[in-house]
Amino acid sequence: MIHVGIIGYGYWGPNLVRNFFSQQECNIKTVADSRPNRLEDLKKLYPSIKAVQDADEIINDPEIDAVIIATPINSHFSLAQKALTNGKHVLIEKPMASSVMECEKLIELSLQKNLVLMVDHTFLYTGAVEKIKEIIDNDILGNIKYLDSTRINLGLFQPDINVLWDLAPHDLSILRYLYNATPYSINATGISHTDNGVENIAYMTINYTSGFIAHLNCSWSSPVKVRMMMIGGDKKMIVYNDVEPTEKIKVYDTAYQLKTDEDKKQILVDYRVGDIYVPKINNKEALASVASDFITSIRESKLPRSSYIIGLDIIKMLEAAEKSIKNNGVEVKLS
Amino acid sequence: MIHVGIIGYGYWGPNLVRNFFSQQECNIKTVADSRPNRLEDLKKLYPSIKAVQDADEIINDPEIDAVIIATPINSHFSLAQKALTNGKHVLIEKPMASSVMECEKLIELSLQKNLVLMVDHTFLYTGAVEKIKEIIDNDILGNIKYLDSTRINLGLFQPDINVLWDLAPHDLSILRYLYNATPYSINATGISHTDNGVENIAYMTINYTSGFIAHLNCSWSSPVKVRMMMIGGDKKMIVYNDVEPTEKIKVYDTAYQLKTDEDKKQILVDYRVGDIYVPKINNKEALASVASDFITSIRESKLPRSSYIIGLDIIKMLEAAEKSIKNNGVEVKLS
Amino acid sequence: MIHVGIIGYGYWGPNLVRNFFSQQECNIKTVADSRPNRLEDLKKLYPSIKAVQDADEIINDPEIDAVIIATPINSHFSLAQKALTNGKHVLIEKPMASSVMECEKLIELSLQKNLVLMVDHTFLYTGAVEKIKEIIDNDILGNIKYLDSTRINLGLFQPDINVLWDLAPHDLSILRYLYNATPYSINATGISHTDNGVENIAYMTINYTSGFIAHLNCSWSSPVKVRMMMIGGDKKMIVYNDVEPTEKIKVYDTAYQLKTDEDKKQILVDYRVGDIYVPKINNKEALASVASDFITSIRESKLPRSSYIIGLDIIKMLEAAEKSIKNNGVEVKLS
Amino acid sequence: MIHVGIIGYGYWGPNLVRNFFSQQECNIKTVADSRPNRLEDLKKLYPSIKAVQDADEIINDPEIDAVIIATPINSHFSLAQKALTNGKHVLIEKPMASSVMECEKLIELSLQKNLVLMVDHTFLYTGAVEKIKEIIDNDILGNIKYLDSTRINLGLFQPDINVLWDLAPHDLSILRYLYNATPYSINATGISHTDNGVENIAYMTINYTSGFIAHLNCSWSSPVKVRMMMIGGDKKMIVYNDVEPTEKIKVYDTAYQLKTDEDKKQILVDYRVGDIYVPKINNKEALASVASDFITSIRESKLPRSSYIIGLDIIKMLEAAEKSIKNNGVEVKLS
């Protein structure tokens, strides 16, 4: 039995509690939140769970094996550092931390202590992303040439982190999981419609040396909710529409392929437009799989799917994007 | 009666012929195309029109008042220059020419000769764009904060011009018409999946000093055809979906508005999500209005809606975008 | 404080428990279900509620004021009869009972005992139906001429009741609520693709003396889920698409109106196609309003929105439809 | 070379002229229409075609081999009878004639004279219907259990024929082509919102002895245009949405199948929900194939796809539907 404590019972916390509650071989001992009314809500539904205001009661509890951190991003590092130092396995809400340096410190600590350090990039565990991964791994798409994602809605303007830090982690985690390579550089542009200079609309191009390209369009200022991702291969292409209730993924037997010709000056492209295939998707709750992967990774000392490696790469990309956006879109190379 | 000649009977030529044919006070005297089979097609449908292979038969014909140039972009300048020199009014297919310098020479010539110089940005005459313009002019949207456009499909890879030169003129003309200001700078990124370095996917951010921002996503490599534009104001927002057969424009009573507060550190945003309104749109053929505007502008010596001013600004933006894309996305200021 | 007991913890029971649990001035004392595993599920989530296998423990409990019956339809009558006899207010899952005679007996009993007798036609409490009701009551549609509803999906074939008894109560309750009149007659056709003669596809026309007509298309055998209702007035028309997440209701400024002319032989119809208006809808949970209406009706001795009057009329229509379908679609008049 | 004459240059006539004009081995000699302005329009586009006001100039012209009748339905019989009598092959716009008796007389005459008698059920030649036919013929769907079609829009109220005679021929021709059997009986209901008793909304159930069922929903009174057909087999099911520009057909790997069990009282149904397949469809112009089939049938003395057999069966169904609708929905058996 693995005993866990959950820090933060805000928007996402109840989902974490519900899903870890129904995990086998797992016991939620304590939930911490500084707001008394949040704890009242918790106690009504889960009278068996200990509710505390001070996160240290979790971090210092010798009976607790693992800590889940679901607080605002600026507290991720300090809480995770203390938990790891105290020998706890750690699952952090996305994004992992506020900077690459913070992430690297946490990773080093977890390796020293031989503890699981996982980031909750929930999307990697959805039926849709699992199906796309399977399609790509089975070489249905051929060589992947681009990924293009639009993630926009009327969103809560956040005072301290821009729209990329808020929304792009979803796209970047999917990108990083599906296309297993570290990008070469980032360009980003955007605008702040508030006085504090925090961008509410931003665009991000992710460049690779391979000829693959990714682009994200993120906005808190759209009247409609769009969650649309396209992935183009030289054999087939996928359109992944996450707001569609059932037909989320469409695989298009559509491609353009360069023909080899003697005269290099001429462009010969083979076009193909064919049938479309809409695979059935497992519509399980992704967070249950996150919980299961975390518990299993602790028990088997294995790397979870949503590992610190993916978590770190996302922070690298976000940091580079922010640097680019503040320098008028200049290309920022990833170290 | 205004006598016109049309140079180029390829993809767009038949539409031009059909629409100018049914214009009052207008007579198509001659159509030129170097390909005999194209002329055969013309003669079958329009036995009354003179079909010639050599464009000079039009340009040098003293009976012809106006010339319509529907040839590939690289011949726009020389044909238009000759026609203007010979005293003909000129309508050029979009984009106006291959460079800002070419455009400026044509403009100067037309001003000297007091001739109409118009560019066929057909979209400006569609019922949808006219309705959006009307909504904006009536201050329904309030201050416009952004325009975001996606124009992607499986398109013919062109050997000499990139996807921005091919597709973006549509978006840029609409942008320029709806938001009557010259941008400050351009950032563009993209990729070429062919050996010749011509981008088949490209992204373009258009920056303004006012805090307004525009962004275009153009691709020849999408399995689906998307024509989606969003225009956000601080009172209402528009989603314009051009592939929708009837409900092309949706006006969302949705907005975010900055609240003034004493403490400038805090961000107070007022959100509003309300009803949606789908105005009925005139589904006339836009090209008929283009033809009519050209003929009327000649007769009344007036500036057409799709004027050389708009045409030139679009070339300025395209030129800057190309410069940016070739310099890793660096910001390029418009002179 | 009103003490309630809930009989039946199957598919709908957990929703009832959750919603009555959060009602003010209401206490769920006991839940009954004959299946031990269902009671186990209940106790895990609600340790404070008494879980019993025998419904009589609820019906005979003098502390319980009101009973909610969420069992299969064939037990509705006997359970409701016993509960009313014992002086309990009763809320029954739709449809009210298996026959008009059963309904009439329950109604008589409730009137004698001065008890609330309500049927859970949840749809009447959705934001969408409330908005449509408001639009109609404000005479936006004008005279209503037709209602047409399609409610199809791949549904569980039920062994004892046909698809109309299963799905049509939703449409019939909305119809009865929006168009406050008793129909004149019913025609129904359908087919059974199983050996037991229970129709899995059925069509129902509901005739009125006023010239209004309603039609339902119900099926357990569709590959897609459709929930589409149209309501046509002589001023405007509504399309209500319940599978649409946000834009459920569209009001079309479209109408056809008969013009008066001297010569009665000629048909003069005025057509109008105009704008579309998509009102914002309250997306509350409807069942919370059902619970609230039940509790309030008990406290204030008032008739709930989803009254026995509506409940009875629906059974009248279903009974007539079944008679029609078994007699090759012959018109069956409602007594 | 086959010389044809076309009678009627109204809504559909120009499409017929355009398509027969581009047929090989076919020459349109004459077009007749009593309205001078229609003939003016014709002459502008096709100066080579003889334009006459009197249909007899076509019917009595010995040089004309085949006559196409595109007039209102009430003149179909007399024109076709005269043309056949004069030895002309005949293509009639749908529906074939006003009654079964008229159809039978025309068929008899065509057989006596050994002439082609074809009805223009254009839908049978669309890429979509051809693809569905191919799917069914390849036994992809298994045993077909139902066809359900909705064909509604804001349509022109016709003074003499009801909405079924106007719209249902499309569905009935597809039904008859895809499911090659004569139905057993018809039920129909509907309503007239005008004073002349002509139904503008109508519903039609088509019963077969095999356990297959078809249902049509036709209306001139809908604010939206719907063209939706479902075809359910016991292996797979098709949804055919004709207003969708590209993805018209979706094949669902969805089925319900009765399991055999000893105890006949129990219903055991196997459900399956799987992938969806969207076949690419040939988006040719269907009317070109109609023209080609007519010409080929004349040259090869073969039965066209859209034969008089299908044409007659449709009139049988329409006649029965009208009888049913006027008798309160009573079942009308097809002789």
pLDDT tens digits, one per residue of A268-295? 677 778 899 999 999 889 999 999 999 9
Chain D residues in contact with B45 by the CB 8 A cut-off are 45
Report how many helices (DSSP H) and strands (DSSP E) chain D contains, helices first.
Answer: 9, 15
Neighbours of chain D (3+ CB pairs under 8 A): A, B, C
Q: CA D256, CA C220: separation in Å to the nearest integer?
A: 9
Q: Where are the alpha helices (DSSP H) in A22-157?
A: 36-45, 56-59, 76-85, 100-113, 127-137
Average pLDDT value for residue range C193-197: 88
For chain B, positions 46-105, list CB contacts with chain D under 8 A. Answer: 47
C259–D contact, CB cutoff 8 A: no
CB within 8 Å of B310: residues ≥ 6 apart: B119, B121, B124, B173, B176, B177
D177-180 long-range contacts, CB within 8 A, separation 24+: D177/D121, D177/D124, D177/D129, D177/D133, D177/D305, D177/D310, D178/D129, D178/D132, D178/D133, D178/D136, D178/D144, D178/D147, D178/D231, D179/D144, D179/D147, D179/D208, D179/D212, D179/D214
The average pLDDT across C102-109 equals 98
Closest CA to D188 of C199, D179, D156, D171: D171
The closest alpha carbon to C286, from C139, C94, C125, belongs to C125
C243 touches chain D (CB under 8 A): no
Domain boundaries, chain B: 2-115, 124-283+316-333
* Mutate which: A143, A146, A199, A221, vs B, most B CBs within 10 A: A221
Kindly state whether A274 is in contact with chain D, defined as any CB-CB distance less than 8 angstroms. yes
Q: How confident is the model at residue C254 (pLDDT cuts 50, 70, 90)?
A: confident
pLDDT digits (tens, 9 = 90+) for B226-245: 999 999 999 999 999 999 98
Is residue D116's pLDDT more than 90? yes
Convert the pLDDT of each residue in D160-219 to its tens digit: 899 999 999 999 999 999 999 999 999 999 999 988 899 999 999 999 999 999 999 999
Identify the weakest region by mean pLDDT among A234-243, B158-167, B267-276, D166-175. B267-276
Report the 10 Å Cβ neighbour count for C181.
12
Which A residues, 284 through 323, put their C-beta within 8 Å of a C-beta on chain B?
Answer: none
Alpha-helix runs per DSSP H in A72-215? 76-85, 100-113, 127-137, 163-178
Q: Give the SS3 label for residue C214.
A: strand
How far apart CA C119 and CA C293 sit, in angstroms, is 11
Distance CA(C53)–CA(C7), nearest Å, equals 9
The stretch C239-265 carries a mean pLDDT of 81
Of C4, C50, C2, whose CA–CA distance to C24 is shortest?
C2
- ipTM of the assembly? 0.93
Q: CA nearest B323: which of B313, B334, B309, B307?
A: B334
The pLDDT value given to residue B204:
98
Q: Given an 8 Å threshold on Cβ–Cβ distance, is C203 in contact with D185? A: no
In angstroms, the CA B10 to CA B15 distance is 10
* D243 Cβ under 8 Å from any chain B Cβ: yes
Q: Residues C254, C170: contact at Cβ < 8 Å?
A: no
Q: Which helix (H) or strand (E) holds B28?
A: strand B26-32
Nearest CA in chain C to A46: C45
- With beta carbons under 8 A apart, name residues in chain C contacting B275: 277-280
**Can you tell me whether residue A201 is helix, strand or coil?**
strand
Q: Tell me, which fold does domain B124-283+316-333 have in CATH?
A: Dihydrodipicolinate Reductase; domain 2 (3.30.360)
SS3 for D268?
coil
What DSSP line would sit under B180-211, residue for residue? -S--SEEEEEEE--STT---SEEEEEEE-TTS
Q: What are the backbone angles phi and psi of residue C173, rounded to the nearest 5°?
A: -70, -40
| Cα torsion angle, B71, B76, B79, B84, sign | positive
Residue-wise DSSP of D133-172: HHHHHTTSS-SEEEEEEEEEEE-PPPSSS-HHHHHHHHHH
Contacting A residues, span 195-234, partner chain B, CB-CB under 8 Å? 195-196, 198, 200-201, 203, 205, 207, 211, 213, 215, 217, 219-224, 230, 232
Q: Which two tokens stand for residue D264?
A: 């006949």
Distance CA(D82)–CA(D109), nearest Å, equals 10
Task: Write out the CATH class of domain D2-115.
Answer: alpha beta
User: Would you call B194 and A145 a contact, using CB atoms and an 8 Å cutoff?
Assistant: no
Sole residue written with tokens 């004309």: D64
Number of H helices, E strands in chain A: 9, 15
Taking alpha carbons only, the member of D95, D109, D116, D88 closest to residue D6 is D88
Interchain proximity D329–C329, CB inside 8 Å: yes
pLDDT at residue D265, rounded to an integer = 53
Q: What are the chain B neighbours of A159 within 8 Å (beta carbons)?
A: 266-267
CA distance C162 to B300: 73
DSSP, collapsed to helix, strand or coil, labels residue D6 as strand
On whether the CB atoms of residues A211 and B191 are closer than 8 A, the answer is yes
Crossing angle between the packed helical segments A308-326 and A100-113, to the nearest 10 degrees: 170
Give the count of Cβ contacts less than 8 A between chain C and D: 153
pTM score of the predicted model? 0.92
> What rounded mean pLDDT belongs to chain B?
94
CB atoms inside a 10 Å sphere around CB A82? 17
Cβ contact A298:A89 at 8 Å: yes
Please write the tens of the pLDDT for every residue from D259-316: 655 555 556 677 778 899 999 999 889 999 999 999 999 999 999 999 999 999 999 9
What average pLDDT does range A119-125 have in this prediction? 98
Burial B275-310 (b: 16+ CB within 10 A, else e): ebbbbbbeeebbbbbbbbbbbebbeeeeebbbbbeb
CB A29 within 8 A of CB A53: no
For residue B266, what pLDDT is reported? 58
What integer pLDDT is reported at residue B199 of this predicted model?
A: 96
Q: Token pair of D134, please?
A: 């191919």
Q: Using 50, 70 and 90 to split pLDDT, how confident is the model at C263? A: low
**What pLDDT score was predicted for residue D259?**
65
Residue D192 and residue D217 in contact, taking contact as beta carbons nearer than 8 Å? no
pLDDT digits (tens, 9 = 90+) for D212-260: 999 999 999 999 999 999 999 999 999 999 999 889 999 999 887 766 5
Three-class SS state of B119: strand
CB of D267 less than 8 A from some CB of C: yes
Q: Could you give the 3-state DSSP secondary structure of residue A147?
A: strand
In the predicted structure, residue A218 carries a pLDDT above the cut 70: yes
Query: Which DSSP category does D9 fall into?
Result: -
Residue A199 has pLDDT above 80, yes or no: yes
Who's near D310: CB < 8 A, 6+ residues apart? D119, D121, D124, D173, D176, D177
Chain A residues within an 8 Å CB radius of C45: 45
* A43/A59 Cα distance (integer angstroms): 20
Could you tell me what percent of chain B has a pLDDT over 90? Answer: 85
Q: Is the dihedral of CA C242, C247, C251, C254 positive or negative?
A: negative
- CB < 8 Å to D280, chain A: 253, 273-276
The one-letter amino acid code at D61 reads D
Is B123's pLDDT higher than 90?
yes
Q: For residue B276, give both structure tokens.
A: 């949606």
Residue D334 CA to residue D143 CA, distance in Å, equals 23
Q: Among C75, C158, C148, C132, which Cα is nearest to C249's?
A: C132
Contact between residue A123 and residue A145 where contact means Cβ atoms under 8 Å apart: no
Taking residues A25-48, report their average pLDDT.
91
